[in-house]
Structure 1
Amino acid sequence: MKGIIMIIDGMGDRPIKELGYKTPLEVALTPNMDKMAENGICGIMDPIRPGIRAGSDTSHISILGYNPYEVYTGRGPFEAAGVGVDVLPGDIAFRCNFSTVDDKGIITDRRAGRIRVGTQEIAQTVNGMELEEDVQVIFKESTGHRAVLVLRGKGLSDQVSDADPKHEGKNPKKVVALDDTEEAKKTADILNKVVEKSYELLKDHPINIKRIESGENAANIIIPRGAGAVPKVEPFGEKYGLNPVCIAETGLIKGIASIAGMQLIDIPGATGGIDTNLENIKNGIIETASKDYDFMLINVDGADEAGHDGEMEEKVKFLEKVDVVIGELMKIEEVYFILTADHSTPISIMDHTGDPVPIVITGPEVRVDDVTKFNERSTSKGGLCRIRGNNIMDILMDLMNRSTKFGA
C-alpha cells in the first residue's frame, strides 16, 4: 500500500457574506472531493493546535510528524534548500520578496506585481554582491516574487528581525538584533546593507526598465524575512521506513521535503499561483504514483494565493479546477489518500488564521462515516472528529500496517 497526503494550501476559509455566509469550498462545485468524503472518513484538523495561526512551513513540519517547536528555526533555510542552494551548518538563510519601492523608499507593492518573468536575471545581479564584511552573499530566485538569501561566514546569528513591514505604504523595516550578542548585531548590520544595496543594483536594471515601460511594477528591492539557521532533521525515510517523494510548487515546501530527505519531482509550469499548470501537476502525480515510492507529499498553492489577495471568485474557481484533478487521482489504486489543507487563508482576513481545516482519508479499510460533502462544516461531523497535524502520520502508518505496537 502507498500513502499520499495532498495538501491544498490555504484551502480553509470563513463564511463570507457575499456567498450567503458560506465558505468558498462550500459554494464551489467539487463533486470529486464530495465523492472522497462519501467514500472516506472525515474530520477537521488543527495543523499545530487549536487557535494557532500556522505558517505553511510549521504546518507541513507538523503534518509530516516532526515537532515544529524543535525543528523550526525560521523559514529561510527551507526556502533556500527548496531552490537548490546547498545550505551548510553555520549559514543563516532568509526568505525574500522581490518588491517595489518608490523614489522615497516607500514600498508600493510587496510582491512586485507578482513578477513571473526575469527574476533569474535580477537574482544574478544581487547574487555575490560585495560587502565590506567577510561574508558571502548567496541569492537565488524561487517561484514568482519569492527568492532566498543566504549569508555565509563566521560570527553570524539568526537572531535578527525582519525587513518586511508586511504592508504597503511603509519603508522597509530596519533590521535589529534580537539579543545582545555581537553575532546578532553584526548580522543585522549586514542585512540592512543588503537591502540598501539591492535597491542601488536593481533600480535601473534592464528588466525593471522594461517592466516600467509596460506599466508593470519594478522588482527594484529585496525584502528579507524569516531568518533561520539550518536545522538538524531525522530523515523522513528513516523515521517511518518509507521511500518518500514530494511534488510541490514553492521553494518553501520543496525545501522542507529536501531537508527531510525526500526525492523532489519538478513539474513544468507549476507557478504556485492560480495560473499554475494543474494538468502537468496531475500527470506528474499519476506518473510518480506508478513508480517505486510508497509515500507521496503533494502541495498545490493557488487557493492560498487567492486568499492572500482577497480574491473570492478566484479562490472558488481554483478549488473547482483542483477538484477536476482530484477526480483523476482517485483512480490511483492500492493507496490511502489523505486530502486536507495546511491552514485556513480566509478572504476576509487575507492571511492565515487558526481555524481548523477539513480532512478526509480514503482507502480500502477506512471506517467510512456518513459525511457526503467535503467542506469545513460538513467534515466536522465525521468519524475522525477533530485531530491535530501531528496525528496524521500515525493514522496513516497504522492504516498502512506499518506502525509498531505500543506496549505488550
Structure 2
Amino acid sequence: MKAVLIILDGVGDRPIKSLGGLTPLQAAKAETFDLIAERGECGIMDPIAPGQPPGSDTAHLAIFGYDPEKCYPGRGAFEALGVGVDLKPGDVAFRCNLATVSDEGVIIDRRAGRIGNIDAEKLSESLKEIKIEGVDGVEAEFIHSSEHRGVLVLRGEKLSRMVSDVDPHLTGVKVPKPHPLDDSIEAKRTAKALEEFLEKARKILSDHPLNKERAKRGLKPANVVLPRGAGVLPKIKSINELWGIKAAAIAGGALYKGVAKAVGFELIKVEGADGTVNTNLKGKVEAAISALKEYDLVFLHIKATDNVSHDKRPKKKVEVIEWISRELRPLIDTVFSEGYYLALTGDHTTPCEVGSHTGDPVPLAIIGPGVRRDDVKKFDEISCALGVLNRIRGIDLMRILMNYLGRVPLFGE
C-alpha cells in the first residue's frame, strides 16, 4: 500500500468580513478538495496542541510523527539541510531574513518587500566575503534560499545554539543585538561571532550598488540580515527505522526540505519549485505521481497559501486555493484509480487578518480503501470538524496513515 501526504501551508483561517464572514476555504470553489472530503473521512487537527501557535518546523516534525518537545534541534538546522549544507556536529545554523531597516536601525519590512530571487542572490553573494576576526577559529557562511530567505552557518570550536533571535518578528522596533541564553563560553562565543557578522553584513548591504539602485526605483533595500532559530545537527530516527517505509518529499522551501531530509525522506527536485505563488505546481504534481511508483509515502508541500496569508490578502488566498485545487486533480485521480491513500491538511492556521501563525486547528481529510466515510461534503475548517476523525493532534496523523498501510505493530498480546 502507498500513501500521499499533502500539506497546504498556512491554509487554515478565520471568518473574514470582506469574504462575507467566510474563511477563504469556505469561500473558494475548490472542487478537488471537496471531492476528497466527500469521499473520505474528515476531522480537524491541532498541529501541536489546542491553542498553541506552531512554527512551520515544529508542525512538520509533529505531522511526520516526531514529538518536537523531545527532538527539536532549532529551525536553523532544518533550513541548512534544506539548502544542501553539509551540516557537521558543532556547526550552528540560523534561518535569516534579508530585511529593510531605517538609518536608525528600525525595522521597516522584515522581507524587504518580498525581494525577488535575482536581487537576493546577488546581495547574498556579497556576504560571502565576511571573515570573523573577533572570535578565534570561527568561520561564517551565508547561503541564499529563496526570495528574502537565507541561511547562516557558523563553524568552529566551542559554539552553541543557545543564542537569542535577532529577528523580533515585528516592524517599527530596533534590531536587537544577539545575546547568549546561558552563561557558557560556547554561547558567549557564538553571540559575539554572530554580532560581528551582522555588523559587517549591514555595512556591505547598505553600501551595495544594487540596494542603492533599488532605492532609486522605489523598492525597499535589503540592507540588514535578521537571523533566528539557531539550530544544530539533529539526532533523529529515520522514518524508515520507525515504520519500515521508503519516503520521498517534494517541496520548494528550504525549511520543508530540511525537516523531511532530517527524518529520512529522499528529496525529489522539481525545476521551478521555488516555494512562491509562482511555483511550478504542475511539475510538482507530475513528480508526485511518478514518485508513487517507487516510494511508499510521498510528501507534497505547497507554500503559496501561507505566503498570501502573511501578506494579509484574503481574496488572493481564495484564488490560490482554487488554483491549487485544479492543479492537484491529476494526482487525486491517480490516488483513486490506484487505490492509494491520501491525507490533505495544513501545517498551521495563518489568518489573513492576523498575518501570522495562530493556534487554531486545521482541516483534515483522508481518502483510501476502507476509510470510514462520513457526511462531510466540503473541505474547510467548519465542515471537517463534523467528520468521524473528530479532533486529533499532528503527531497522531502519521500513525493513522501507517495503520492504513499496515505498518503499525500490535501493542500488547
**Structure 2: how far apart are the matches of 1:120 and 1:164?**
20
Is the aligned partner of 1:165 residue 2:168? yes
Match of 1:349 among 333, 339, 354: 354
Verify the 8 A CA contact 1:63 1:393 in the aligned structure 2: yes
What SS class does the counterpart of residue 166 from structure 1 fall into? coil
Identify the residue that residue 154 of structure 1 maps to in structure 2. 157
Identify the residue that residue 194 of structure 1 maps to in structure 2. 197
Identify the residue that residue 297 of structure 1 maps to in structure 2. 299
Is the aligned partner of 1:126 residue 2:121? no
Structure 1 vs Structure 2 CA RMSD: 1.3
Tell me the amino acid that sits aligned with residue 274 of structure 2. T
Identify the residue that residue 74 of structure 2 maps to in structure 1. 74
The number of aligned residues is 407
Deviation at 1:213, TM superposition (A): 3.3
Deviation at 1:350, TM superposition (A): 0.8
Identify the residue that residue 255 of structure 1 maps to in structure 2. 258
TM-score, normalised to structure 2, is: 0.96
What SS class does the counterpart of residue 118 from structure 1 fall into? helix
**Structure 1: how far apart are the matches of 2:382 and 2:355?**
20
Is the aligned partner of 1:284 residue 2:284? no
Verify the 8 A CA contact 2:82 2:258 in the aligned structure 1: yes
What SS class does the counterpart of residue 318 from structure 2 fall into? helix
Identify the residue that residue 208 of structure 2 maps to in structure 1. 205
Q: Which moved more, 1:146-155 or 1:207-216?
A: 207-216
Identify the residue that residue 10 of structure 1 maps to in structure 2. 10
1:182-220, Cα deviation, whole Å (9 max, x unpaired): 221221121111111101112222332332333221222
Is the aligned partner of 1:242 residue 2:236? no
What SS class does the counterpart of residue 203 from structure 1 fall into? helix
Deviation at 1:128, TM superposition (A): 5.1
1:2-151 to 2 correspondences below 5 Å: 2-116=2-116, 117-127=118-128, 129-132=130-133, 133=135, 134-151=137-154
Q: Which moved more, 1:66-75 or 1:273-282?
A: 273-282
In structure 1, stretches of 5+ residues that fail to align are none
Match of 2:370 among 365, 369, 375: 365
1:13-64, Cα deviation, whole Å (9 max, x unpaired): 0111222221110001111111111100000011111111111100100011
Tell me the amino acid that sits aligned with residue 369 of structure 2. P
**Structure 1: how far apart are the matches of 2:341 and 2:378?**
19
Q: Which moved more, 1:200-209 or 1:255-264?
A: 200-209
Judged with a 3 Å threshold, the aligned counterparts in structure 2 of structure 1 residues 261 and 206 are, in CA distance, closer, same or farther, namely farther
Verify the 8 A CA contact 1:57 1:253 in the aligned structure 2: yes
Identify the residue that residue 329 of structure 1 maps to in structure 2. 331
Identify the residue that residue 406 of structure 2 maps to in structure 1. 401
Tell me the amino acid that sits aligned with residue 164 of structure 1. D
**Structure 2: how far apart are the matches of 1:215 and 1:267?**
33
Is the aligned partner of 1:175 residue 2:178? yes
What SS class does the counterpart of residue 232 from structure 1 fall into? coil
Verify the 8 A CA contact 1:128 1:137 in the aligned structure 2: no
**Structure 1: how far apart are the matches of 2:291 and 2:119?**
30
Is the aligned partner of 1:390 residue 2:395? yes
**Structure 2: how far apart are the matches of 1:129 and 1:64?**
37
TM-score, normalised to structure 1, is: 0.97
Tell me the amino acid that sits aligned with residue 155 of structure 1. K
**Structure 2: how far apart are the matches of 1:25 and 1:340?**
12
Tell me the amino acid that sits aligned with residue 245 of structure 1. A
Q: Which moved more, 1:202-211 or 1:251-260?
A: 202-211
Identify the residue that residue 314 of structure 2 maps to in structure 1. 312
What SS class does the counterpart of residue 333 from structure 2 fall into? coil
Runs of 4+ in 1 over 3 A off after TM superposition: none
**Structure 1: how far apart are the matches of 2:253 and 2:345?**
18
**Structure 2: how far apart are the matches of 1:64 and 1:131?**
37
**Structure 2: how far apart are the matches of 1:38 and 1:331?**
14
Q: Which moved more, 1:274-283 or 1:153-162?
A: 274-283
What SS class does the counterpart of residue 86 from structure 1 fall into? coil
Q: Which moved more, 1:196-205 or 1:309-318?
A: 196-205
1:286-343, Cα deviation, whole Å (9 max, x unpaired): 2322x31111111101111111111111111101111102222111123100000000
Verify the 8 A CA contact 2:166 2:176 in the aligned structure 1: yes
Verify the 8 A CA contact 1:82 1:252 in the aligned structure 2: yes
What SS class does the counterpart of residue 36 from structure 1 fall into? helix
In structure 2, stretches of 5+ residues that fail to align are none
Q: Which moved more, 1:222-231 or 1:127-136?
A: 127-136
**Structure 2: how far apart are the matches of 1:226 and 1:364?**
41
1:41-89, Cα deviation, whole Å (9 max, x unpaired): 0000111111111111001000111111111121000001100111111
1:143-177, Cα deviation, whole Å (9 max, x unpaired): 11100011111111111111112222222111111
**Structure 2: how far apart are the matches of 1:364 and 1:405?**
21
